[in-house]
Amino acid sequence: MELPPQLRQAVDSALAGVSLAELTVAAKALSRRYRDEVRDGRLHISDARFALAYIATRMPATYAAIHAALEALAEQQPDFAPRSLLDVGAGPGTAMWAAADVWRGMDAATLVETSPSIRALGEKLAASSTLAHVSWRASDLHADLPGAQHDLVTLAYVLDELAPRDRGALIDRLWSLTRHALLIVEPGTTAGWRRILDARTQLIAEGAHIIAPCPHAQACPIVETDWCHFAARVARSRIHRLAKEAEVPWEDEKFIYLAASRTQANHRASRVLDRPESATGRVSLKLCQPDGSAMHRLVTRREGDAFKRARRVDWGDTFEE
C-alpha cells in the first residue's frame, strides 16, 4: 500500500528542506510515546517537528490500516456510498484521504483535531484533495463536537490516547452523529484489541450492527493470550526509510478495527484471522465464523473451488465456504 499520488506529492513538498537528523530524533520520540501509550496530559504532536515526523513515518502506516478497514466495510455493504465524513482526532487528515480513495463520490469532510501543529499541516495537505468541501475544527475531544450527522464517522488511533473513563462517552456521542456507519481503528496490540471489544459491546447494546471484521454479533471467540488483529504492508518512501533508520523498503502495520452500521451487512462470510499456511495440496486457515466460533480450517485440493478460493485469500480477507 502506498499513499495516493496527490498526497504523496503534498507530503514530499511539506518535508522538502527538513533536516533529516531532526526528523529522525523527533520520529524516535514520537514512536516511543505511541508505543508506550503515554498519557501525561500533553499532546503527542506538540509542535511542528513532531507533525513533520508524523507525516514522514506514521501517516503512511495509518493510511494503509484505515484504508484496509474502509475496504472491508465497503465489501460488506457494497451499496454504501457516503457523501460526508466526520473524522474525530483527524491528525493530518489521514482518514479523509483513505475514504476519498475508497469512495470517489465523497465530497465533504469535517475534521476535528486538537493539536494546532498537525491540524495546520493537515490543512496544507488537504489543499491537494479532490473533495469539494473540507472543514477543519479545533476542538478538544471532551468538548462539544459538530452537531450534524454524517454518512461516515471515523475514529482512528484515538482511543489509546484517552483515559478509560472518557472512551465510552465519546463512542456514544460519535454513534449519535452517525447517519450510516462508524469506523474505529486502533493499534493491533492486545490493549488495542481490548479497547475495540469494549467499543463493540457498547455499540451492540446501542443497537448497532457489526459489519466488520466480525461476521457476527456474539461474544468474541478469541481467548487471550491470543488476540484479534490484522496487518497492512506499507511501502516506505526514501524519507520514510531514512527517518526510521530502516533498511527494508516496507513495513507491516498491525491494527485492529471495528465497523458498525445502522443497517445489516448484505452477506456474512468467515474472516481470515491470520496468515494462511500453505503446503502442497492444502491450505490452513484460521477463521472467525458467522456462527460466532473460531476454528482452524484445513482446505484440501479435493474440495475444488473452495481450495482455489483458499489459495487466493490473505490475512483479513473474507472466506466463502
State how far the Cα of 283 lies from the Cα of 299, in Å rounded to an integer.
Answer: 5
Residue 98, CA atoms < 13 Å, CB-side half-sphere: 32
Residue 159, CA atoms < 13 Å, CB-side half-sphere: 33
Tell me if 253 sits within 8 A of 66, measured CB to CB.
no
Range of the domain at 126: 5-261
**Residue 313 sits in the same domain as residue 218:** no
State how far the Cα of 271 lies from the Cα of 143, in Å rounded to an integer.
Answer: 37
**Residue 219 sits in the same domain as residue 286:** no
Looking at 224, 240, 261, the residue that finishes a domain is: 261
**What pTM was computed for the model?**
0.95
Does 164 sit behind a cis peptide bond, omega within 30 degrees of 0 on the bond before it? no
Using one digit for the tens of pLDDT, what is the confidence trace for 19-77?
A: 889 888 888 888 888 776 766 656 677 678 889 999 999 999 999 999 999 999 999 99
**Residue 106 sits in the same domain as residue 255:** yes
Give the domain CATH number at 15. 3.40.50.150
**Residue 211 sits in the same domain as residue 118:** yes
Q: What are the helix and strand counts (H, E) for the chain?
A: 10, 13
State how far the Cα of 162 lies from the Cα of 246, in Å rounded to an integer.
Answer: 30
Cell matching residue 123: 490543512
Using one digit for the tens of pLDDT, what is the confidence trace for 232-250?
A: 999 888 888 888 888 888 8
State how far the Cα of 146 lies from the Cα of 223, in Å rounded to an integer.
Answer: 38
Residues 6+ apart with CB under 8 A from 93: 87, 109, 111, 122, 125, 126, 129, 134
State how far the Cα of 226 lies from the Cα of 131, in Å rounded to an integer.
Answer: 40
Domain count, the chain: 2
Q: What is the pLDDT of residue 171?
A: 97
Using one digit for the tens of pLDDT, what is the confidence trace for 117-153?
A: 999 999 999 999 999 999 999 987 777 788 899 999 9
**Residue 205 sits in the same domain as residue 276:** no
**Residue 289 sits in the same domain as residue 156:** no
**Residue 236 sits in the same domain as residue 286:** no
132: left (phi over 0), alpha (psi -120 to 50) or beta: alpha
Looking at 261, 288, 310, the residue that finishes a domain is: 261
Using one digit for the tens of pLDDT, what is the confidence trace for 275-316?
A: 999 999 999 999 999 999 999 999 999 999 999 999 999 999
Tell how far CA 203 is from the center of its chain.
Answer: 18
**Residue 29 sits in the same domain as residue 98:** yes
Q: What is the pLDDT of residue 265?
A: 84
